[in-house]
Amino acid sequence: MHPEAPRSTLIPATFMVIAWGALAFGAVYPWAFGPLLAACALVGIAALAAYRHRPMPRSARVVVLALLVVLAATSLQVVPLPPGVLATVSPGTDAFLRDFDLTYAMSDTQLPDGTVVAAAWHPVSIAPRATLLALAFIAAFTIFFAGLVRALSPERARRLVALIVAFGALLALVGIVQKALLGDHAWAGMKIYGFWAPANLLSTPFGPYVNKNHFAGWMLMGVPLALGLGIGIAERALRGRGADLRAGLLWLSSPAGGRAQLAFIAAFLMAASLLMTRSRSGVGCLLAALVLMSVAARRRFGSARAGLAAFGSLAALFLIVFALAGADLAARINNRIDAMELRRNIWTDSARIVGDFPVAGTGLNTFGTAMITYQTTQKDQHFQEAHNDYIQVLVEGGLLVGLPVLASILLSVRGIRRRFAAKDDDAVTYWIRAGAATGLMAIAFQAFVEFSLQMPGNAVLFVTLLAIAMHAAAPVKRRVRDGDHA
């Protein structure tokens, strides 16, 4: 293979991973997430090898180390322990297994014929195979992030973002057209793409996603990225030029102006598709994202007036799209009693699990298994997720995994802040970074009431945005000046 091959294929390969994750129903099925994880690992390893002489930003190295600690802590959850040790380390696991695992319950007991059953060793995870799967996800995404954050440069980041934004517009159109032609009620016979029937007919699909809230989660990350790309192109092209109407119109007819308009159109389509999902969490977090982008404008231009102007423009975009989405969206937002009751019930039962598994948790990816015995409400359905990713990490990971996860989040926030504080980005790079950071915050807000990031297709976009937000700036002597054309 030519030595430049991995470098030339990095961006297309990363884009294909992201596209596969979204189009393959969010990659929720084994036939979809298996290839996704393999591709993430391969892209990460290839990037690390091809750019091995390129230093990784120190803040990103610290995050990678924190993720490795998460990986190590999760690995401890699948280490078999003798019953006596397990009962000491995790009494909750011991009690759970004595009710649901006959082999473990009979451990060290004497049968009527005098035979003594051998001690059955078991990990602290109540479902080790499920936790091993979670380990595979953590490992693949850590490698993917490490390779991508080392390989990305401002120019490569711009190329990748342009592809993601174009794909986001296409994904939005798929959702909009599908809803218009097929509806969104699986119970009434609606099929994704016209042929795929979701296993759960009570779900409300949108686009390729079985759950509309998860489609909204993807768009929460995509809309700020598109806005960042468009604003960045506009600032770089218009800086130093006249601010009159004629200069603006002339710029709009230029190639750079055309690219900026396409980015804004993509943002419009993505926002429209998000609102058409009628996802309450999606709508609320989209509003929060627009406020965050306005704050970024105020800081970038050092003017409250600029921030207000940006917020006014983005608010106008939101209102226009909101009006096009229809009155049923407003009615759904006002009718939120059932949703909050559901979450309150889940969180109440989750608190009981945390109380019984405070140190080592139940094992990552075992929430649904734990709810077999801990669910006390709404017995007509089985709670598979906590509808709050932070609570679910605490339930499944306890302090053992929860503390490293918290450290990873805090270190990521600190690293992104340091990239902005360095003030060494050109206009486009700054706004791409701002769009990525805003997308990360928007999906982090949604994670308080949803579980969009548990969709592998959304998780891979999240990791990509984290790498974009933390990648290194260009060397000073090669950096593009703000006044240059896009």
Give the pLDDT score at 187. Answer: 80
Q: Which two tokens stand for residue 319?
A: 């209102």
pTM: 0.91
The dihedral sign for the CA sequence 222, 228, 231, 236: negative
Token look-up 């896009």 returns 486
Domain boundaries, the chain: 5-53+152-335+423-478
**CA dist., res. 350 & res. 389, Å (int):** 12
Q: Where are the alpha helices (DSSP H) in 51-127?
A: 58-76, 83-89, 91-100, 102-105
Strand partners, 209: 206
Strand partners, 128: none
Give the pLDDT score at 485. Answer: 40
Give the pLDDT score at 339. Answer: 75
**CA dist., res. 87 & res. 95, Å (int):** 8
387: closest CA among 476, 253, 281, 486?
281
Structure letter (DSSP) for residue 115: P
Token look-up 């993917």 returns 144
**CA dist., res. 88 & res. 108, Å (int):** 16
Q: Which two tokens stand for residue 359?
A: 């140190």
Give the pLDDT score at 442. Answer: 97
Residues of the chain where predicted confidence (pLDDT) is lower than 50: 1-3, 327, 476-486
Where b means 16+ CB within 10 Å and e means fewer, 269-304 reads bbbbbbbbbbbbbbbebbbbbbbbbbebbbebeeee
CB 315 within 8 A of CB 293: no
Give the pLDDT score at 327. Answer: 44
Strand partners, 122: 81
